[in-house]
Amino acid sequence: MRDESGQRQAPAGAGTAGQPARADLSHLSIGKTAQPFRRGSRRKLVVIVLLILALGVAALFLTGVFNPAIPVHLVSVSKVFPSQSFTVLNASGYVVAQTKASVASKITGLLVKLNVEEGHKVREGQVLAVLENADYRATLARVEAAQAAARFALRQAEADLYNARLIYERNSRLVKRGVISQQEFDTSDARFRQVRAAVSAARAQIRVADAAVLEAKVNLDYTYIRAPFDAVVLTKNADIGDIITPIGAAQQAQASVVTIADMDSLMVEADVSESSIAKVKVGQPAEIQLDALPDERFPGRVHMIVPTADRSKASVQVKVAFMERDPRVLPEMSAKAAFLSRAVRPDEREPVVAVPGTAVVEVDGRAAVFVAQDDRARLTSIETGRTFGDLVEVRAGLSTEQRVILEPGEGLEDGAKIMPQEK
């Protein structure tokens, strides 16, 4: 419908009421509820997934799923003595002094002086201790006085004998000439015989006095406790003020003052099984190891095979003597004796670093071993030396703190992961 100007007019009711009508049509349009993925976002997601997969594979690789550990047996590098390669038998025992004494007194007395302590070296006859001896000194003084009196009595008797002999000889001449009577001569003869007997009695009395003096001196000497031989004091068993008795039976009494031992008589007393005693002979070379000095060996020889067996242990005692004296060796130390097939040479005295021969491999013409380090096998070149049985001396390339792989397989390579196992 057009108006007077010729323009088309809107239908009736389409004026302001037309806007609500357009609003209603807008409700008929399709709404966008989701945005489609962009290409860039999709690419990031793929990268994240691939990264997670790569990390998972790396974790599996590190845990050994794709590279499993190789089971191996390890042995520690250690120092060994060459004598181990020619040892025929080993036995355990203790260091024992063959000359040892608990020094005591033959009399009972109060200990008033002690001259030694543990560790002191003493000489034969040296006074170790002194007992109270005033009474013994008094006795000695009395018998010495009696001895002196007996000697004076002998001199008097000898003087009387001299006078009686002169009278007898004179009367003997006079009676022959008839100057004196026979009775007077007989009296002088009897007097001479009597005085001569008195001289003999005086001499006997002197011997009695001498014996009494000797007895008193011996009893006095008993109060001085002396060392019976050259030795070292091991223990002190009494102190000043203790009562010393020969058997220590009295309460609060001591029988022994000190215990001493001749350190030159030390030997190892080892128990050898009856079934193995045939491998040991007197004079056989041996090597002694002390638990107190594990890094040293002492040369020795078989001194004695005790001619009896211990039925409770089914063993025979063997005594091994030290060839060289060492002040560090003490009685009652634990010891091990190695009986050897031959004597140790001078160049075999010192320990050497060694590994089992089965641990040594050859790489490019050089000796090497696989060293265990942080669960990895590390190929290490070494310089080898002498062979001792199944052991090989290592002069350079290893230290005693390391561990090497026994019998490394052909597939074992430098850096391979290993799993130590008990052998």
Which pairs from 279-283 meet CB under 8 Å and 24+ separation? 279/88, 279/89, 279/339, 280/89, 280/305, 280/318, 280/339, 281/305
- The torsion region of residue 173 among left (phi > 0), alpha (psi -120 to 50) and beta comes to alpha
Query: What are residue 233's DSSP bridge partners?
Result: 260
Percent of the chain with pLDDT over 70: 85
For the segment 34-59, the average pLDDT, to the nearest whole number, is 69
E-strand spans in 183-251?
Answer: 224-226, 231-236, 243-244
Q: Pick the more confident residue, 266 or 42.
A: 266
Per-residue model confidence (pLDDT) at position 6? 46
State the Cα–Cα distance between residues 62 and 417, nearest whole angstrom: 11
In the structure, what pLDDT confidence band is assigned to residue 371 with cuts at 50, 70 and 90?
confident
Per-residue model confidence (pLDDT) at position 375? 81
Task: Map out the domains of the chain with their CATH numbers.
Answer: 70-81+351-421 (2.40.420.20), 84-98+265-348 (2.40.30.170), 100-131+224-261 (2.40.50.100), 134-222 (1.10.287.470)
Cβ proximity of 417 and 64 under 8 Å: yes
For the segment 107-133, the average pLDDT, to the nearest whole number, is 95
Per-residue model confidence (pLDDT) at position 97? 95
Please name which of 113, 99, 116 lies closest in space to residue 236, comparing C-alpha atoms. 116
pLDDT per residue over 198-213, tens digit each? 999 999 999 999 999 9
In the structure, what pLDDT confidence band is assigned to residue 351 with cuts at 50, 70 and 90?
confident
pLDDT per residue over 168-209, tens digit each? 999 999 988 888 889 998 999 999 999 999 999 999 999 999
pLDDT per residue over 202-253, tens digit each? 999 999 999 999 999 999 999 999 999 999 999 999 999 999 988 755 555 6
Cβ proximity of 158 and 197 under 8 Å: no
- The top-scoring range by mean pLDDT among 20-29, 240-249, 291-300 is 291-300
Please name which of 157, 134, 141 lies closest in space to residue 212, comparing C-alpha atoms. 141
Rounded to the nearest 10 degrees, the angle between the axes of helix 134-177 and helix 182-222 is 160
Write down the pTM of the prediction: 0.65
Per-residue model confidence (pLDDT) at position 389? 76
| Range from 55-64, 188-197, 396-405 carrying the lowest mean pLDDT | 55-64
For the segment 104-125, the average pLDDT, to the nearest whole number, is 93
In the structure, what pLDDT confidence band is assigned to residue 90 with cuts at 50, 70 and 90?
very high
Per-residue model confidence (pLDDT) at position 101? 93
